[in-house]
Amino acid sequence: MLRLKSNTPRWVISILDLILSAFALVFAYVIRFDLKADKTLILAEWAILSKSIFVFFSVKAIVYYLFKINKGLVRFTSTEDVRRILSAQLTVSLLFVALGFVRQQFFDGYFLFPTSVLILEFLSTFLFMVGVRFLIKLWYLESNRSGKIEERVLIYGAGISGLMTKRTIEKDQKIAYSIIGFIDDNKKMHGTRLEGVSIFSSDKIMQLVKEEGVTSLIIAIQNPEEENRKHVLEICLSLGLKVQKVPSASNWVNGEFSTNQIAKINIEDLLGRKAIVLDEQKINDELNNKVILVTGAAGSIGSGLVQQIAKYKPAQIVLLDQAESPLYDFQNELLVQFPHLNFDVVIADIRNYERLKHVFAHFNPSYVFHAAAYKHVPLMENNPTEAVLTNVKGTKNLVDLALDYNVNKFVMISTDKAVNPTNVMGASKRIAEIYAQAANQKGITKIVTTRFGNVLGSNGSVIPLFQKQIENGGPLTLTDERITRFFMTIPEACQLVLEAGTMGDGGEIFVFDMGEPIKIIDLAKKMIQLSGLELGKDIEIKITGLRPGEKLYEELLAKEENTIATHHPKILKAKIREEEATQIDEINQLIGLFEAQNNELLVTKMKKIVPEYISNNSTFEKLDTK
């Protein structure tokens, strides 16, 4: 196909517009005389018109110049260009009426043009100028797309965002996309068209793949129902379609986005659930204008909590962590996200009681969110002393100081691995839970524990590991094909922590509804698909065997526990057994065993404190028989 030059000189466009105007004027006269004008009539009309023709072209040239009609890029003609042409044509016609009145009154008694010609010329010139521009635009688009293999695309979402996605794709010549249709959840829109493109239900995707050769779907809807989106994504993955998404509107530049921002979806998009409805007023009453301390503030949950808390305008947030570089990076991120947030960064280790005492005395927090912990099962299995020092002694330090300094509420972040623990890490968190619950009655501080499973995309979780392995060409390493885990997103987990923390009256362990457990091997397969790779051809999955202390299946409740419903459908209160007073003495003794650096002695004491702690695939299994 003949390719058009990218840049046409402005003077060429100006001359073309005047030629189109001349054609429009001739066309108007021809229509006026119904194609039946004879030579005599033509000569008579020309005698009148000839005295106006100079004015006709002069007015057109001046008005078109003032309205900058020739400045627009013809190959990217838009509705703004159409508006400008219409405004210019209206101005020209009004000037012709005014100048015609002057001629009729003060010169030869004739108007510049007959009224019918004036109307027909206005309409014809507008249609010719707009029509030619769009023809050139289409020609340019087609000529630049020739030779490229087209991606046949469906757009999910037929609203404003979907429409903008369509226009952005059609305008970008670097990509060869053909928009086959829209997919939308609104049943009233099914069977209708948007800018000439049909709108279908998600049930038609398979049919469109077979009949229209659809190869890709772009998620353009900004706030979809999570269940509907997951349904569409599952269909696309089962059909082997490439799935992408447009950025959120907050990331658009000047209300627009480019095709470079259209990105692959990630596994979080596939596993996300319906948005959580929070008791915003209660949370605001609790957190607004308060001093709040967050431990582990540089971690996944800690940083997520800070970002959620910041929305409620606390008087001050104290970010406490021992990880210097991550805390520095998070500090810079907060300065951009929340420029008016009053926060302080504290480098401290929760195992250091004196350092923590200084922090409490200086800031006097009303609220403490305790997210600092060691959480990696294999590492803690090899280093029990560190698990006890951080997860147990660190928590004890914070709880004791919260009581001493009359903190209003202390919210501890725990884990599903504390339930019937099979490893050192889980047992250490369960012991921390026991100490926190026992301390609840010792002062005015209300101590609340929240317990949930794995968090999507958190530091050290399976998803970043799989992503890195995919980027390196594999294989994806999986400990066992049967292994399952509960998952939720970081924002979801943090929102539920806030909700549970504010609803708690002290002494509760709140358990979150984690949904259905997910097989990790299915997660790995979906991540491979989302990366555009084929399992067995492009990349492999390797089974490595269970790691020390690792469970096949996680639990959120122990056998002795049951739950009580709360006002929030995703938060349950665990009804737990009463702990013996001797356990607190045992916990203090456990912390004192650190000096001996004897792992077996330490783990033996942990098993005494938590009788349900039965080691799995670990060197400490031998201690269960004693």
Decide: residue 99, CB within 10 A, 0-12 exposed, 13-18 middle, 19+ buried: middle
Decide: residue 102, CB within 10 A, 0-12 exposed, 13-18 middle, 19+ buried: exposed
Of residues 290, 417, 551, 607, which has the active-site annotation?
Answer: 417
Could you give the CA distance from residue 103 to residue 122 in angstroms, rounded to a whole number? Answer: 20
For the chain, how are helix, strand and coil distributed in percent, rounded to 5? 50, 15, 35
Could you give the CA distance from residue 163 to residue 520 in angstroms, rounded to a whole number? Answer: 37
Characterise 255 by phi-psi region: left (phi > 0), alpha (psi -120 to 50), beta (else).
Answer: left
Which residue reads 């260009």 in tokens?
A: 81
DSSP state of 391: I
Could you give the CA distance from residue 1 to residue 144 in angstroms, rounded to a whole number? Answer: 9
CA dihedral 522, 551, 437, 350 (to 10 degrees): -90
One-character DSSP codes across 491-530: HHHHHHHHHHHHH--SS-EEEE---S-EEHHHHHHHHHHH
CA dihedral 87, 88, 92, 95 (to 10 degrees): 60
Could you give the CA distance from residue 448 to residue 437 in angstroms, rounded to a whole number? Answer: 8
3-class state of residue 352 by DSSP: coil
Could you give the CA distance from residue 88 to residue 577 in angstroms, rounded to a whole number? Answer: 82
- Close Cβ partners of 489 (under 8 Å, ≥ 6 residues apart): 268, 271, 272, 273, 455, 456, 457
- Close Cβ partners of 9 (under 8 Å, ≥ 6 residues apart): none
φ, ψ dihedrals at 504, nearest 5°: -70, 140
442 belongs to the catalytic site: no
CB atoms under 10 Å from CB of 109, counted, come to 8
Q: How far is Cα of residue 442 from the mean position of the Cα atoms in its chain?
A: 43
Decide: residue 407, CB within 10 A, 0-12 exposed, 13-18 middle, 19+ buried: buried
Contact 217, 156 (CB under 8 A): yes
Contact 320, 297 (CB under 8 A): yes
Asked if the peptide bond before residue 421 counts as cis, ω within 30 degrees of 0, the response is no
Could you give the CA distance from residue 365 to residue 371 in angstroms, rounded to a whole number? Answer: 16
Could you give the CA distance from residue 172 to residue 482 in angstroms, rounded to a whole number? Answer: 46
Contact 147, 3 (CB under 8 A): no
Catalytic residues: 417
